[in-house]
Amino acid sequence: QVQLVESGGGVVQPGRSLRLSCAASGFTFTSYAMQWVRQAPGKGLEWVAVISHDGSKKYYGDSVKGRFTFSRDNSKNTLNLHMNSLRTEDTAVYYCARGSLYFGFDYWGQGTLVTVSS
Amino acid sequence: QSALTQPPSASGSPGQSVTISCTGTSSDIGGYNYVSWYQQHPGKAPKLMIYEVNKRPSGVPDRFSGSKSGNTASLTVSGLQAEDEADYYCSSYGGTNNVVFGGGTKLTVL
């Protein structure tokens, strides 16, 4: 069965960096674009970034552009989200999800909580 | 990119139908047939319920249906059941290699 497992969340000070990972299994990883979506405590969903199936194309939401970098390792079926210059407003549960920008995100991980606080 | 507009709450009694609206612009909902809807129970990850305006993934009951008119998309839940009580989010392709979400609607089954 399809599984997406995020890791790497925690408490970090403003201005510092953090790397999130997502381990994928149960499907042909190289065939799918992948996404990061976040949800601040008590708030709605916010799209963060997308990466194409082969990693050649990456696009970011305006609020993270220039600070976050999305990458994938197709040999290990993993995704990474490098988050730099973190702000308090980046505090959220971060979900990785499978799917393209057009056809919906059909599988989601359980999420990992990132708290940015001094 | 501005978020799509959803009513904060909706409600209905068991067995009734309820419709949740999602309003965007001609740059997102109105420009593409790439509207999705997600259900999220407290403490859980979102679940895809509708994609491409009106298509249901395998396993989603046919009580859930989607439609679109102009810049507004809608999700209708027919034959409401207790387990349908959840938050619902719409999303759309935003036109510039991005996705935009609605603010979410809390559905209460009375």
pLDDT exceeds cutoff 70 at B2:
no
What is the percentage of chain A residues whose pLDDT exceeds 90?
100
- Best CA proximity match to B1, nearest among A42, A59, A86, A85: A59
CB of A41 within 8 Å of any CB in chain B? no
Phi-psi sector, B37: left (phi>0), alpha (psi -120 to 50), beta? beta
Contact B40, B86 (CB under 8 A): yes
| pLDDT of amino acid B3 | 86
pLDDT exceeds cutoff 80 at A13:
yes
Q: Would the CB atoms of B101 and A101 count as touching at under 8 Å?
A: no
What is the percentage of chain A residues whose pLDDT exceeds 70?
100
pLDDT exceeds cutoff 60 at B1:
no
Q: Can you read off the two tokens belonging to residue A44?
A: 């709605």
pLDDT tens per residue, range B10-27: 999 999 999 999 999 999
State the average pLDDT for chain A. Answer: 97
CB of A48 within 8 Å of any CB in chain B? no
d(CA B89, CA B5): 10
For chain A, the residue count is: 118
pLDDT tens per residue, range B36-93: 999 999 999 999 999 999 999 999 999 999 999 999 999 999 999 999 999 999 999 9
Instruction: Report the residue from A61, A108, A110 with minimal CB separation from B98.
Output: A61
Please state the rounded mean pLDDT for residues A70-74.
97
Torsion of CA A8, A14, A15, A19, to 10 degrees: 10
Our CA-based measurement puts residue B24 at a distance from the nearest CA of chain A, in whole angstroms, of 15
Question: Distances from the Cα of B59 to the Cαs of A52, A75, A102, B54, B83, in angstroms?
Answer: 27, 31, 20, 15, 15
Torsion of CA A73, A32, B93, A20, to 10 degrees: -30
Classify residue A75 by burial, with Cβ atoms within 10 Å: 0-12, 13-18, 19+.
exposed
